[in-house]
Amino acid sequence: MLNTKKNIRNYSKNELIAVFAELGEPAFRAKQVYQWLWKNSILDFYQMKNISKPLQIKLDEHFETYTTAIDITQISQDGTIKVGFKTYDNESVEGVIIPSEDRVTACISSQVGCTLSCKFCATGFLPRKRNLFAFEIYDQVNLLNKLAEKQYGRGLTNIVYMGMGEPLLNYDEVLKSLYLLNDEEEGLGFGAKRITISTSGIVRNIKRLADEGLKINLALSLHASNNDKRTQIMEINKSNPLEELLEAFKYFYEKTHNKITYEYILLSGFNDSIEDAKELVILCQDFPVYINLIEYNAVDGTPFFKSKKEHRDKFLQTLRDNNVAAKVRKSRGKDIDAACGQLANKIANQTI
């Protein structure tokens, strides 16, 4: 018999209210169920305690709850945990928990694979199979939070959309997930300032995000300070050149007043010269910018190498000499391919 049940986790609150009306149920019942699903992470209708048994049966007849599950895990020597998730349709994505002295950060994915094919990134070698749904992004955070509590004795403090995929090419579902994570009354209650979206630069959607009114943080995967070099390693720059990106980020800053972060991977002999640093300084003049310099993590099949320490240090000093706030971001989880640019569904099974 054909399964005609709908995934209740794909409905917004207003959509759920409308569906409940068709079933002859009042709006407040829809709101109760919505809160069970997202505030309490309860997916079994029969565990929703303030819902009557007849309504529980009706829900079970009409709906199902697609879920994401932890499939395999791997722990780095530095305490970083990489998690392989299995989706409802048996696809795989990865997430990472990065603990530090004052925070526990979750790095989450927004797509199965990626379309951008950035030349330095392992995920770029994977085909993009589909976008993740908002509930799948939510599930990553919820599951990683519980895992962090179990492993470190404390939950997540920060969330970064910096895993597999380009978040702003899955705009609608990412936006839905932001509200589910941010909502204090009916979601997980993560403050907007604790959430960062990292993008390779999708101009139209940076502006759309600015108009949403969410005071989240935005980071640009920059990695080169002129169009010629950036296009060589990031094809997205052909359709979203630096001039247009800077204008979009300026618009985002004017709307949110949140400082913008530039992520810049140092590639030996390609983008790590003093001249590159001086060009980068010019890109930091129109609004407050913080630079994260990232040490390159080796990826099989790429022609790039980690920048030498002396070049890295001179690059950093050039930025600071020109009053640009910058630091070298410590790379975590390299031994388990969990560091920046290494997520590619290569994960060994461990039990936590």
pTM of the model: 0.92
C-alpha distance from residue 31 to each of 21, 37, 184 (Å): 12, 10, 14
* pLDDT given for residue 340 in this prediction: 54
* pLDDT given for residue 200 in this prediction: 96
Q: Are 316 and 275 in contact (CB under 8 A)?
A: no
Structure tokens at 162: 């910096």
Burial 288-299 (b: 16+ CB within 10 A, else e): ebebbbbbbbeb
Residue partners of 34: CB distance under 8 A and separation at least 6: 13, 16, 186
What CA–CA distance (Å, rounded) separates 207 from 94? 28
Catalytically active residues, by annotation: 94, 340
For residue 12, give the amino acid letter. Answer: S
C-alpha distance from residue 269 to each of 233, 297, 317 (Å): 14, 15, 18
Structure tokens at 331: 């790379």
* pLDDT given for residue 347 in this prediction: 52
Q: Output the furthest CA–CA distance in the chain (Å, rounded).
A: 70
What CA–CA distance (Å, rounded) separates 249 from 244? 9
In Å, how far from its chain's centre is CA 316? Answer: 26
- What secondary structure letter does DSSP report for 24? T
Q: Which of 108, 156, 107 has the alpha carbon at shortest distance from 132?
A: 108
**3 state SS of 43:** coil
Q: Are 111 and 166 in contact (CB under 8 A)?
A: yes
**3 state SS of 11:** coil
Burial 45-74 (b: 16+ CB within 10 A, else e): beebeebeeebbebbeeebbbbebebbbbb
Residue partners of 337: CB distance under 8 A and separation at least 6: 82, 122, 343, 344, 346, 347
Question: What kind and span of H or E run contains 247?
Answer: helix 242-256
Average pLDDT per 10 consecutive residues for the chain, totaling 352 residues: 82 96 96 97 96 96 96 91 95 94 95 86 78 98 97 96 95 97 94 96 97 94 97 95 97 94 96 98 96 86 88 98 94 57 51 50
**3 state SS of 313:** helix
Q: Are 74 and 348 in contact (CB under 8 A)?
A: yes
Residue 335 CB coordination number (10 Å) = 13
